[in-house]
């Protein structure tokens, strides 16, 4: 045992870099296909009615999806061809309009389904003779003017329906190519047909028309109508993208991993959505990919996305030749950092976060995210503590501890040859003695000559009992020492062991990682392999919670309580939120935004403001419980569809 000194000018080096944190949103992809009730894997149009149901057109069928089941309306009921897709739209009275998607030289059938009354109308009947049944070649629901239905007739006229029919433009010649319509800013109307793009000004017959140079190239989709016009076309070789800029039709460029293979299918305020042969890719506006979904079947979908629809719950639906993809964007309540660093210790003071890890030990400015390295980088730091003189003590996963003398600005390290690791330090406020918890017993620093001395624990009657110290906790009963061989209670004044609690005293498990005392005086113990233990010391009663009671894993590393009667449990498989009243468990995994599913023994901390930090084998998960919107009172959309 010995001591060596090292002097440095200051504790914190100049800030050297910025730490990157995870995005604020999470994404989940679900798939709806034949096995879920669709009559065909190929799908085209998608709309949502006023009751919240999703309507999907497949060949010869229109299907209502309620989130669980699919109800089919087949071609015989709808009076359409057996193998034909339909355009869809919902009017303000919750009626479903449909029109066959056919070449214009063919007769397109159409109709209106009153969803609430389950009755069917022909276009001629509904319009009171304004249109014949084969006049309509396109119906669509505007994303800009939500209550408006857009209709195109084969004679070249464009109508809107918002309770009454109104002709908004007439080309005065028949359409010869398929038609798409949408309102854009300032009430203008965008009309696509073949290789022509026309913009009709509100209340005017003046139009601006743009043409693709290749007459055989055809506009396929309106990807965005506001605030930018972004269009998709196909020229027989592949897809291309266009935008209107300074009253010119110019190519629209985007940046992904491979512009030649990635295809844009939706653009939103914060993210762009792409697909290629076997992936759905989401990237933010900085061009950083934040989510990638691999489709199980090796089926090309890149050229097969037909309609993309954002519903009222901000769920994105994308139809394809391989089913319907439901892309759910959820708020990420967790912040993650230090990806790639296996975290061993965490501690905070004010706006400074101290981090120990196998890859790097560092200090992080919580506000600016700037980081600096510790002067000592030889060992992974596992704990941090200030003593009553302001000195910083640091435990490690090696056989030494560090002390930084704040007054002298001097580093000292204490090395113990016969110990594998000196994880923890703790200063007894009564005696001011520094105690050290190691992987094979309890030690302390003798002040006379600054040497590390062993303290003989009564476990097995021998100091070499491989007792691993995992926590120090002091209350009115004394100093609790949490170990893999039970709980030791030390008298804070005499520093003699008063009691050794084990299974013989009723503890369900001896191998313990953490002790937490709640406001009612109940002890909660995190165990290794034995789950969570509730101990009422007044009557010495115990209750054990394991995976049989809903825990995701039986190895827990810590217990931290928030202000909402719940405790947080980092484990070997997920972060758990445990309700102390009804004992229900919520489990958070990487898909919920945490850094990694596996946490570490000493890598946890609760800051003065209540912020929780949990470190694992791939970085740190940070959050404040007040910001977690995942309580039991989470509001899910419920629609009353019918009273009977």
Q: Looking at residue 260, what is its pLDDT?
A: 56
Residue 17 pLDDT > 80, yes or no?
no
Q: Does 354 or 259 have the greater pLDDT score?
A: 354
- Average predicted confidence (pLDDT) for the chain: 88
Give percent of the chain above pLDDT 70: 90
Dihedrals phi, psi of 94, to nearest 5 degrees: 65, 40
Q: Looking at residue 238, what is its pLDDT?
A: 84
Residue 208, C-beta contacts closer than 8 angstroms, at least 6 positions apart: 198, 199, 247
Residue 447 gets the label, from left (phi > 0), alpha (psi -120 to 50) or beta, of alpha
Residue 4 pLDDT > 80, yes or no?
no
Cα separation, 117 vs 545, whole angstroms: 52
Measured in whole angstroms, how far is the alpha carbon of residue 476 from the centre of its chain? 42
Q: Looking at residue 205, what is its pLDDT?
A: 74
Q: Looking at residue 259, what is its pLDDT?
A: 56
Using 50, 70 and 90 to split pLDDT, how confident is the model at 13? very low
Residue 465 pLDDT > 70, yes or no?
no
Q: What is the pLDDT of residues 122-136, one digit of tens each?
A: 999 999 999 998 999
Which candidate, 244, 129, 132, places its Cα nearest to that of 190?
Answer: 244
Residue 588 pLDDT > 80, yes or no?
yes
Q: How far apart are the first and last CA of the chain?
A: 83
Q: Does 106 or 54 have the greater pLDDT score?
A: 54
Mean pLDDT of 210-227: 90
Using 50, 70 and 90 to split pLDDT, how confident is the model at 144? confident
Instruction: Give the 3-state secondary structure of 354-400.
Output: EEEECCCCEEEECCCCEEEECCCCCCCEEEEEECCCCCEEEEECCCE
Structural tokens at position 181: 């319509």
Mean pLDDT of 70-92: 92
How deeply is 121 buried, as exposed, middle or buried, from its count of CB atoms within 10 A (0-12, 13-18, 19+)? Answer: middle
Q: How far is CA 150 from CA 91, 104, 402, 495, in A?
A: 10, 17, 73, 84
Mean pLDDT of 485-496: 96
Cβ 544 vs Cβ 531: under 8 Å: yes
The label of the residue with tokens 């190239």 reads 217
Q: What is the pLDDT of residues 373-388, one digit of tens each?
A: 887 667 899 999 999 9
Q: Looking at residue 643, what is its pLDDT?
A: 65
Residue 462 pLDDT > 50, yes or no?
no
Which candidate, 125, 165, 126, places its Cα nearest to that of 149?
Answer: 165
Dihedrals phi, psi of 441, to nearest 5 degrees: 130, 180
Give percent of the chain above pLDDT 90: 65
Mean pLDDT of 601-613: 96
Dihedrals phi, psi of 77, to nearest 5 degrees: -65, -40
Which of 238-254 are b and which e, b meaning 16 or more Cβ less than 10 Å from the residue's Cβ? ebbbbbbeeeebeebee
State the maximum Cα–Cα separation within the chain, in Å, rounded to a whole number.
106
Cβ 113 vs Cβ 131: under 8 Å: no
Instruction: Give the 3-state secondary structure of 290-338.
Output: EEEEECCCCCCCCCCCCCEEECCCCEEEEEEECEEEEEEEEECCCEEEC
Residue 399 pLDDT > 70, yes or no?
yes
ω before 227 within 30° of 0 (cis)? yes
Using 50, 70 and 90 to split pLDDT, how confident is the model at 55? very high
Mean pLDDT of 143-171: 91
C-alpha angle 42/46/50, rounded to 5°? 150
How many Cβ atoms from other residues are within 10 Å of residue 261's Cβ?
14
Q: Looking at residue 262, what is its pLDDT?
A: 77
Structural tokens at position 484: 């893999």
Residue 539 pLDDT > 60, yes or no?
yes
Say if strands 410-415 and 422-427 run parallel, antiparallel, or are unpaired: unpaired
Which of 505-528 are b and which e, b meaning 16 or more Cβ less than 10 Å from the residue's Cβ? eebbbbebbbbbbeeeebbbbbbb
Q: What is the pLDDT of residues 293-351, one digit of tens each?
A: 888 766 655 457 889 999 999 999 999 988 999 999 988 889 999 999 999 999 999 99
For residue 143, give the DSSP letter.
S
Cα separation, 99 vs 615, whole angstroms: 56
Q: Looking at residue 332, what is its pLDDT?
A: 87
Q: How far is CA 557 from CA 249, 378, 384, 528, in A?
A: 60, 25, 17, 8
Dihedrals phi, psi of 244, to nearest 5 degrees: -95, 120
Containing H/E element for 422? strand 422-427
């Amino acid at each position: 045992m010995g001591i060596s000194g090292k002097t440095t000018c200051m504790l914190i080096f100049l800030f050297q870099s910025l730490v990157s944190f995870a995005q604020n949103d999470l994404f989940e992809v679900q798939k709806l296909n034949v096995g879920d009730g669709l009559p065909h894997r190929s799908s085209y149009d998608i709309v949502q009615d006023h009751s919240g149901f999703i309507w999907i057109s497949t060949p010869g069928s229109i299907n209502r999806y309620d989130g669980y089941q699919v109800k089919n309306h087949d071609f015989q009921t709808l009076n359409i061809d057996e193998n034909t897709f339909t355009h869809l739209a919902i009017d303000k009275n919750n009626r479903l309009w449909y029109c066959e998607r056919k070449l214009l030289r063919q007769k397109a059938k159409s109709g209106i389904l009153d969803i609430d009354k389950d009755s069917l109308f022909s276009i001629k009947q509904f319009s009171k003779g304004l249109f014949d049944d084969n006049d309509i070649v396109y119906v669509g629901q505007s994303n800009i003017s939500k209550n408006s239905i857009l209709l195109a007739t084969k004679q070249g006229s464009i109508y809107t329906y918002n309770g009454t029919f109104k002709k908004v433009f007439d080309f005065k010649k028949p359409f010869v190519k398929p038609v798409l319509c949408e309102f854009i800013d300032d009430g203008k109307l965008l009309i696509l047909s073949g290789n022509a793009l026309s913009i009709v000004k509100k209340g005017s017959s003046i139009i601006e028309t743009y043409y693709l140079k290749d007459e055989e190239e055809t506009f396929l989709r309106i990807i965005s109508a506001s605030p930018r016009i972004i269009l998709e076309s196909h020229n027989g070789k592949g897809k291309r993208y266009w935008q209107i800029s300074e009253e010119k039709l110019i190519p629209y460029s985007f940046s992904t991993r491979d512009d030649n293979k990635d295809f844009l299918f939706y653009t939103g305020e914060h993210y762009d959505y792409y697909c290629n042969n076997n992936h759905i890719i989401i990237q933010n506006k900085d061009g950083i990919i934040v989510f990638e979904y691999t489709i199980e079947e090796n089926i090309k979908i890149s050229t097969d996305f037909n309609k993309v629809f954002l519903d009222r719950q901000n769920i994105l639906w994308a139809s394809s030749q391989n089913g319907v993809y439901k892309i759910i964007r959820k708020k990420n309540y967790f912040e993650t950092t230090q990806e790639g660093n296996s975290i061993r210790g965490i501690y905070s003071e004010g706006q400074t976060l101290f981090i120990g890890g196998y890859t790097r030990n560092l200090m992080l400015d919580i506000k600016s995210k700037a980081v600096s390295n510790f002067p000592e980088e030889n060992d992974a730091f596992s704990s941090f503590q200030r003593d009553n003189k302001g000195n910083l003590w640091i435990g490690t996963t090696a056989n030494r501890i560090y002390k930084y003398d704040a007054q002298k600005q001097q580093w000292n390290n204490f090395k113990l040859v016969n110990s594998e690791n000196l994880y923890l330090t703790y200063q007894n406020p009564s005696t001011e003695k520094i105690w050290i918890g190691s992987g094979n017993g309890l030690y302390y620093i003798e002040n006379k000559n600054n040497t590390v001395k062993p303290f003989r624990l009564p476990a097995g009657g021998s100091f070499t009992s491989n007792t691993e110290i995992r926590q120090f906790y002091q209350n009115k009963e004394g100093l609790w020492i949490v170990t893999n061989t039970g709980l030791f209670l030390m008298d804070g004044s005499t520093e003699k062991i008063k009691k050794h609690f084990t299974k013989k005293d009723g503890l369900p498990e001896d191998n313990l990682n953490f002790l937490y005392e709640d406001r009612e005086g109940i002890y909660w113990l995190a165990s290794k392999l034995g789950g969570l233990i509730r101990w009422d010391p007044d009557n010495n009663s115990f209750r054990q919670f394991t995976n049989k009671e809903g825990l995701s894993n039986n190895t827990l590393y810590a217990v931290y309580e928030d202000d909402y009667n719940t405790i947080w449990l980092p484990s070997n498989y997920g972060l758990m939120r445990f309700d102390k009243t009804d004992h229900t468990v919520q489990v958070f995994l990487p898909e919920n935004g945490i850094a990694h599913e596996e946490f570490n023994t000493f890598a946890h901390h609760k800051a003065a403001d209540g912020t929780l930090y949990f470190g694992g084998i791939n970085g740190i998960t940070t959050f404040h419980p007040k910001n977690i919107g995942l309580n039991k009172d989470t509001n899910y959309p419920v629609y009353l569809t019918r009273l009977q």
